[in-house]
């Protein structure tokens, strides 16, 4: 979750000041400023003292991080009943799963894991029914993703097998920077301070984060920690440092994120798959610190600065192609991102185009280059690992997640479909904060939810249906909610209403791709590899 802030504030014509919007998105919390604020994904603040992690306990964390999180989530689900629609609504971002009921359960679960590691019998965890339910579709998506980058060759000549992708095991994550690497610069360390009541690192602008890194500014704060822009005295360059809260469950989550980041880097040494690059990491005064390359603004930042006017079609096509290439690469590695959204797609730098395309309206500010990086792997999950109940920021959440049917690779494709609509229209497609309204919006755009899916929904969500049909409009909470749903149209009509004139000749092609990405049935949803072969990406724009 690096940050690469855009440096421009609303009303400021410069591009050299940090963007809090991008950095907050990287941290999985905060709402969008301006036209359409989004529900916060941050977890409630922890009010009670939590156990401090052992210093230098990296090897132990690598072995037990996943077990701790699995046990904590299983205990929380058992004790708090996550099947209810109220529980499903408590988290609108993957960065903030239902922490309000997690503290006590997590503490008990972590204690059980510790006892098991000491030789005691660990209590059985809940069976993961999603593994069986998603096995067939996972194989299909993984197989298709494996062919994403394989070029078509003449049948008369032999094919070279593609390089084998590999997951970096937790034990294979490189060690943190040794302390002497941080102390080799003749700069004082800041005075030792206690962390704040929520485990966040206390600091002052201008002091050092270890002698090597000088803190230039704070760029954001969220569920997992803080992001700072720092001057790296060794690299002689600015970097983004994410400082994780000094609380054990967040340290454990950070180790899982490091596994995903190192797996991506090991399989993409040339950084050709558009994923952000982790430079290094270290453990400082109980805080896991991740050092990332500094990038530019997010795609959401550009939409906001341009008053939510859409990107030119050629630029949106380029963004979508790179995003799908990145997703196909992740899926080939059996990794599901789970939190794709415009805030988590950054351009490489903050250069602004001096010659905007003819289709751009007067005053629209566009990036000079359409090259992007996908960021924020804090919630990325390997398909064989434990899957939490709720993932994805609300606006980009797939129906199978809302209905409690289990999720896998297709949930990323749903998010990409929502993102493509937003790039072409300027507005998020599903602007909502609760399940019934969200499902009603889906039906307004995509037609009725298949009865088979409604019948399979988990208890609590099933109450939103009557005889396997959505209880709408009878179940609407307000007239405002009714109007929000009534404003939506079918995909093609929605794009015709909101997109630029240059898009209209290609509406049939674009709408076809989006409909395949937004198929209710996860097993039938187009894969990233298949989407890259869609005629939309053959258009010469």
**Could you tell me the two tokens for 148?**
């994403």
What does each C-alpha distance from 451 to 96, 148, 521, 523 come to in angstroms? 30, 33, 11, 16
User: For helices 507-517 and 410-425, what crossing angle results, to 10°?
Assistant: 150
Q: Is 322 helix (H, G, I), strand (E, B) or coil?
A: helix
Q: Say which residue the tokens 């394989």 belong to.
A: 150
Number of neighbours of residue 236 by Cβ within 10 angstroms: 7
**How is residue 7 written in tokens?**
């440096």
Specify the length of the chain in residues.
541
Tell me how far apart the alpha carbons of residues 361 and 20 are, in angstroms, rounded to a whole number.
26
Q: Which two tokens stand for residue 69?
A: 């999180």
How many whole angstroms separate alpha carbon 374 and alpha carbon 339?
10
Q: Using DSSP, state whether 88 is helix, strand or coil.
A: helix
Tell me which of 99, 339, 376, 519 is the catalytic residue. Answer: 339
Torsion of CA 249, 252, 257, 260, to 10 degrees: -140
β-pair partners for 228: 218, 241
Q: At 241, phi and psi to the nearest 5?
A: -115, 120
Please name the residues in contact with 12: beta carbons below 8 A apart, sequence gap of 6 or more. none
Residue 372 carries which DSSP code? E
Q: Which two tokens stand for residue 529?
A: 């590899």
Q: Do 378 and 245 form a contact (C-beta atoms < 8 A)?
A: no
Pairing of strands 278-284, 287-293: antiparallel
Residue 459 makes CB contacts below 8 A (sequence gap 6+) with 83, 84
Strand locations in 251-336, DSSP E? 278-284, 287-293, 335-336
194 among known catalytic residues: no
- DSSP code for 99: G
CA gap 302, 530 in Å, rounded: 29
By C-alpha distance, which of 322, 315, 328 is closest to 345? 322
CA dist., res. 387 & res. 394, Å (int): 17
Structure token digits, residue 80: 């708090």
**What's the rounded Cα separation, in Å, for the pair 288 and 283?**
5
**Is 341 labeled as ligand-binding?**
no
Residue stretches of the annotated binding site: 242
The residues annotated with a catalytic role in the active site are: 339
Residues making up the annotated binding site for ATP are 242
């Amino acid at each position: 979750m690096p940050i690469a802030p855009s440096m421009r504030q609303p009303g400021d014509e410069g591009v050299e000041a940090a963007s809090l919007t991008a950095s907050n998105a990287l941290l999985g919390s905060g709402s969008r400023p301006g036209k359409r604020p989004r529900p916060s994904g941050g977890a409630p603040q922890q009010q009670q003292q939590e156990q401090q992690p052992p210093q230098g306990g990296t090897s132990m964390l690598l072995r037990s991080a996943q077990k701790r999180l699995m046990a904590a989530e299983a205990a929380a689900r058992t004790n708090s009943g996550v099947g209810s629609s109220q529980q499903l609504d408590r988290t609108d971002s993957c960065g903030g799963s239902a922490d309000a009921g997690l503290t006590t359960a997590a503490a008990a679960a972590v204690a059980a894991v510790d006892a098991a590691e000491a030789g005691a019998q660990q209590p059985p965890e809940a069976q993961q029914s999603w593994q069986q339910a998603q096995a067939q579709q996972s194989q299909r998506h993984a197989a298709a993703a494996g062919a994403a980058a394989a070029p078509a060759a003449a049948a008369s000549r032999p094919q070279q097998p593609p390089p084998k992708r590999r997951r970096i095991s937790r034990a294979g994550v490189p060690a943190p920077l040794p302390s002497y690497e941080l102390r080799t610069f003749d700069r004082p360390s800041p005075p030792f301070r206690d962390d704040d009541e929520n485990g966040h690192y206390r600091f002052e602008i201008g002091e050092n984060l270890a002698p090597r890194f000088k803190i230039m500014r704070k760029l954001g704060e969220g569920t997992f920690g803080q992001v700072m822009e720092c001057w790296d005295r060794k690299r002689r360059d600015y970097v983004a440092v994410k400082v994780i809260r000094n609380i054990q469950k967040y340290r454990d989550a950070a180790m899982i994120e490091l596994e995903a980041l190192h797996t991506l880097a090991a399989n993409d040494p040339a950084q050709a798959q558009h994923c952000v690059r982790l430079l290094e990491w270290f453990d400082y005064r109980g805080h896991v610190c991740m050092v990332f390359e500094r990038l530019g603004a997010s795609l959401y930042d550009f939409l906001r600065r341009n008053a939510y006017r859409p990107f030119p079609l050629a630029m949106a096509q380029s963004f979508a192609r790179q995003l799908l290439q990145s997703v196909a690469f992740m899926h080939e590695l059996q990794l599901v991102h789970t939190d794709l959204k415009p805030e988590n797609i950054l351009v490489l730098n903050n250069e602004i185009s001096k010659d905007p395309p003819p289709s751009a309206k007067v005053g629209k500010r566009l990036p000079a280059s359409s090259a992007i990086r996908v960021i924020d792997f804090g919630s990325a999950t390997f398909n064989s690992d434990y899957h939490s109940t709720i993932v994805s920021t609300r606006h980009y959440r797939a129906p199978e997640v809302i209905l409690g049917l289990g999720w896998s690779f297709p949930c990323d494709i749903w998010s990409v479909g929502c993102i493509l609509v937003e790039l072409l229209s300027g507005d998020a497609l599903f602007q909502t904060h609760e399940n019934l309204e969200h499902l009603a919006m889906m039906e307004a755009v995509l037609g009725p939810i298949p009865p088979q899916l409604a019948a399979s929904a988990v208890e609590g969500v099933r109450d939103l249906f009557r005889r396997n049909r959505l209880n709408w409009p009878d179940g609407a909470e307000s007239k405002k909610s009714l109007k929000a749903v009534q404003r939506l149209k079918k995909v093609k009509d929605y794009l015709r209403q909101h997109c630029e004139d240059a898009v209209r000749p290609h509406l049939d092609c674009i709408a076809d791709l989006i409909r395949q990405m937004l198929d209710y049935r996860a097993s039938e949803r187009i894969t990233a590899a298949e989407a890259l072969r869609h005629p939309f990406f053959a258009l010469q724009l």
